[in-house]
Structure 1
Amino acid sequence: MNKYDAVIIGFGRGGKSLAAELAGKGWKVAIIERSEEMYGGSCVNVACIPTKAMIHFAALSECRKTLSFTQQSVVYREAVNSVDRLTSSMRKANYEKVVNKENLTLITGEASFRSPHQLIVKTMEGELVIEADKIFINTGSLPIIPSITGIEKSKRVYTSESLLKLQQLPRHLVIIGGGYVGLEFAFMYAAFGSQVTLLDTHPQILPHEDDDIAYYVRKAIEEREIVFHKNVMVQSIRDEKNASIVSYVNLSTENLHELPADAVLIAVGREPDIKSLDLEAAGIHLNDHGAIETDAHLHTSVPGIWAMGDVKGGPMFTYVSLDDYRIIIDELFGKGQRTVFDRDPIPTTLFIEPPLAKIGVGEEEAFRVGCNIKVAKLLASEMGRAKTLGQTEGLMKIVVNADTNHIIGCTFFCVEANEMINLAAVAIHAKLDYRFMRDQVFTHPSMSEAFNKLLSLIE
């Protein structure tokens, strides 16, 4: 039996950072990853990096609107191959950082618990039994596959992970699910030249956003000729010779409809990747959502076992996984004061065109909970930077607590919103008076100047 000071199950952002830190402090560490194709974790291989790279190439493709579908297909194939080279190089770099690290052992295989502090690892060479006083679970998440008749048999059904490897641009892409993943892929493939249809069970687009923000997102969807069917339920998928037929019911009228598709993307959410871990053997509890139950310091129900990243549920972002690493390091080598609550609220970005970024509360939510607020709104077209980029779509909003003068929420649906939201996050977490941001000197032309204009509208 191999004994380690610490074992990390999963090569994701938080896990690999923790492994390197512990090994650097002289701990004997093992990091276990199921597949060579996942060195570096989901973000590098199947999520953030490849999707955002494809969105970038799609935006470049959209500039070539005079191209035929055949020509666009060539552009798309080149983008797929470019992204594959990118992820391969990043996967290789992650691998080399681990294998060249003193005190750190990489084991490629599938881990499951034998007891609270013993693991069985199935590798190509056979089974290993390893033991550690401290075990950190960082196995990430997987796309949810809903119960739809014919979904398992269809050869044209993809997840967000497998669609990115498709070499042929689909003429008609049907996306099941209108959340973040569904919308990002809808904008991406529409930009490449696909006809895109979105099917979603919700009665409205982005139900958790303010109505005015959702209105501008709807406009952007319509302008790109993306068809969005709301309040529908998919019944079945069947393959025919030249297409798959997606059958769905309108929940209001109960009418049955059918759509032909060259490809069907399943984008109804993600779930913790825990099925192979045999958590019962360790006595690890799950919460009501099927994720590993953890406390504010990421402890599981078993002493000496932590969970980090997507596997514990909650916001599934790589930067949250990285912050989980910081919490654990603070406990092991610091004052142990850092918790999951320190990072709230968390900024998010939906990488559509333009990006939709948000942090904190929206106007409608603030009213519902009885906050005394002031709200500022500004069209993106008012900004010089938006004009110079030729991207004037969208709306920006900031919510201020009228009693404290603190910014408590920002929603930016505009070009470069993904960068602006990080400034908003600093202001919120630092509890800055909104007038501090209002009077800051920002470079010109920049979208950051929106803080000057927006906050000057606060009385």
Structure 2
Amino acid sequence: MSPFDFDLVVIGGGSGGVRAARVAAQHGARVAIVESANYGGTCVHRGCVPKKLLVQASRFPRSAASARGYGWAAEVADLDWRRLIAHKDTEIDRLEDVYERNLQGVGVQTFHAHARLVDAHTVQLDGDERRLTAARVLIATGGRPATLDIPGKEFAITSDEAFHLDALPRRVLVVGGGYIAVEFAGIFRGLGSEVDQVVRGPRLLGDFDEDIATVLARHMTQQGIRLHLGQELARIDKGATGLVVTTSTGSRLDVDAVLLAVGRRANTDELGLQAVGVAMDDRGAIVVDALGQTNIPSIHAIGDVTDRLNLTPVAIREGQAYADRVFGGLDVPVLDHETVPTAVFTSPEIGVVGLTEQAARARYPDLRVLTTTFRAMTLAFGGSPDQVFVKVLVDRPTDRVLGVHLLGEGVAEMIQFIAVALIAGATWQHFRATVALHPTIAEEIVTLKD
């Protein structure tokens, strides 16, 4: 008989933790999961899901403008922000219930509490006297938005609060140049706000291919987003009619809201990790090997709390793999982070998979780079100035496709299946041998020439 209450205790009820708990239980393990806030985690409550809903809302004015080119006398009425947010909250509540019901449906015991490690096999539930013992502990507590230590920082919000504003700000300053920053800049601008964006670096999306970043910046500028590159936020002051922001170059901006999108930090505070001896890096993220193993044999970690590739589908895949390996006895291959597809839900949106040109050139000296920029037929007919950008990177000696970088309407859907081709080791000849589907944006990928 096992000396432990459970075979597995999962700390964190986000997408990765829930998947691991549910699959482990389906393999026959006795599983408990502890979540201090909301089941579904960041993705459901403060990330992917509400963000995509607001992105869709922000695109309606552009769609209405294009509809006139097709003969429709389309107009968009004033936005009812409160109605939008209330409807979003209703959907989020529904999804949270689904997450918890699915866990309980396979026998996982759910706890609403803050969890703290006492030792390598014991979890204390703060707020009551219960302690859960387990043969294994999986930490899946995710991350949270980072902030800036500047005067007036208390006047700023992060992406967490942006989903719960009482009213749509008339003037918004977005601070940061990563994918969260550019997505929120597009959301607020599409919904009607005046938007400025302060970026510390020389360009947007520093981890993405430079050409994609350049094309995106051009589209954002055309939409009226004012980019301030090479600047940092110095201070925020309360003004007579809003907030007064000063940048590192001395520029002053009058705004109604300041959104900080300056990165994320692992949620490792007050988990008892130091007392147990779990190794962390200098940013507070849990150090793990390729299989999520920490330096403590009974403790693993997955998802954003490890600060490797911070994407919800990656956390889900890691959770599934952990449960299948440990409790299902399956030989699951290690996830290849280089072939994980990524979408950025700007307008137009971005879809990428594989290496950037800079990374590819460092490893493949004989690199073939194919690019094209064009206006899609449907958008041009509707009067939209938006363009489509396509970039394909090929290792010339082997003809293997190393990376695909897309910007345009619907490219997030395309990149999912292009990723399948890259994982299968597709060559550029495979792409070129594929008959084009006309008339589509995607056909330009398989017809692309030097």
Check whether the contact 2:390–2:445 (CA below 8 A) recurs between aligned residues. no
Task: Report matched runs for 1:369-380 at 5 Å.
Answer: 369-380=363-374
> Structure 2 matches for 1:403-418, cutoff 5 A?
403-418=397-412
1:64 and 1:417 map into 2 onto residues whose CA distance is 21
Other structure's SS at 1:281 match: helix
Local SS of the residue matching 1:314: coil
TM-score by length of 2: 0.91
Question: 2:89 aligned with 1:77, yes or no?
Answer: no
Q: Aligned equivalents of 1:134 and 1:248: distance in 2?
A: 48
Q: In the alignment, does 2:35 pair up with 1:41?
A: no
- Please give the alpha-carbon distance, in whole angstroms, between the structure 2 residues aligned to 1:141 and 1:215: 29
Identify the residue that residue 57 of structure 1 maps to in structure 2: 57
Distance in 2 between the 1:335 and 1:101 partners?
Answer: 20
After the TM superposition, which residues 123-162 of structure 1 pair with which residues of structure 2 at under 5 Å, given as runs? Answer: 123=127, 126-152=128-154, 154=155, 157-162=156-161
**Could you tell me which residue of structure 2 aligns to residue 334 of structure 1?**
329
CA distance change for structure 1 residues 436 and 386 in 2, over 3 Å: closer, same or farther?
Answer: farther
Distance of aligned partners of 1:388 and 1:82 in 2 relative to their CA distance in 1, 3 Å threshold? farther
Q: Does 1:428 align with 2:422?
A: yes
User: Which residue is equivalent to 2:7?
Assistant: 5
Name 1:169's counterpart in structure 2: 168
In the alignment, is the contact (CA less than 8 A) between 2:7 and 2:135 conserved in 1? yes
What stretches of structure 2 of length at least 5 have no aligned partner? 69-75
| SS in structure 1 of the partner of residue 251 of structure 2 | strand
Residue type at the aligned position of 2:244: I
Specify every segment of 5 or more residues in structure 1 that has no aligned partner in the other structure, as ranges.
251-255
> Partners of 1:44 and 1:80 in 2: how far apart?
14
Mapping 1:2-401, distance limit 5 Å:
3-35=5-37, 38-63=38-63, 72=78, 74-102=79-107, 104-123=108-127, 126-152=128-154, 154=155, 157-250=156-249, 256-332=250-326, 333-340=328-335, 342-381=336-375, 383-384=376-377, 387=380, 392-401=386-395
Aligned-residue sequence identity (percent) comes to 27
Report deviation, 1:389. 7.2
Residue 400 of structure 1: SS of its match in structure 2?
strand
Give the Cα–Cα distance (whole angstroms) in 1 for the partners of residues 47 and 23 of structure 2: 24
What's the CA shift for 1:283? 1.2
> Larger relative contact order (C-alpha < 8 A, sep ≥ 6)?
2
Contact 2:23 2:320 in 1 (8 A): no
Q: Secondary structure at the match of 1:127?
A: coil
- 8 Å CA contact retained: 1:297, 1:338: no
Structure 2 distance, partners of 1:115, 1:390, is 63
Question: Quick one: which of 450, 453, 457 aligns to 2:447?
Answer: 453
- Residue-by-residue CA offset, 1:41-98 (whole Å, 9 max, x unaligned): 21111100000110001101444579xxx963x3333322221111111112112222
**CA–CA distance in structure 2, aligned partners of residues 98 and 418 of structure 1:** 30
Counterpart of 2:371, as a letter, is K
SS of 2:339's partner is coil
Aligned AA (2:299): I
Is contact 1:117–1:282 with CA below 8 Å preserved after alignment? no
Residue 253 of structure 1 is matched in structure 2 by: none
User: Residue type of the partner of 1:297?
Assistant: L
Q: Residues 275 and 25 (structure 1 numbering): CA distance in 2 closer, same or farther, change over 3 Å?
A: same
Task: Output the CA distance in 2 between the equivalents of 1:23 and 1:211.
Answer: 44
Q: d(CA) in 2 for partners of 1:257 and 1:348?
A: 34
Larger deviation: 4-13 or 417-426? 417-426
Aligned residues: CA RMSD: 2.2
Rounded to whole Å, the distance in 2 between the matches of 1:414 and 1:89 is: 31
SS of corresponding position for 1:232: coil
Partner Cα separation in structure 2 for residue 404 and residue 143 of structure 1: 42
Q: Does the C-alpha gap of structure 1 residues 266 and 301 become closer, same or farther in structure 2, counting only changes over 3 Å?
A: same
Equivalenced residues, count: 437
The answer as to whether partners of 2:267 and 2:305 remain within 8 angstroms in 1 is yes
Q: Residue 354 of structure 1: SS of its match in structure 2?
A: coil
Call closer, same or farther: CA 1:12–1:208 in 2, change over 3 Å. closer
Report how far residue 285 of structure 1 moved. Answer: 0.2
Residue type of the alignment partner of 1:229: H
TM-score where L is the length of structure 1: 0.89
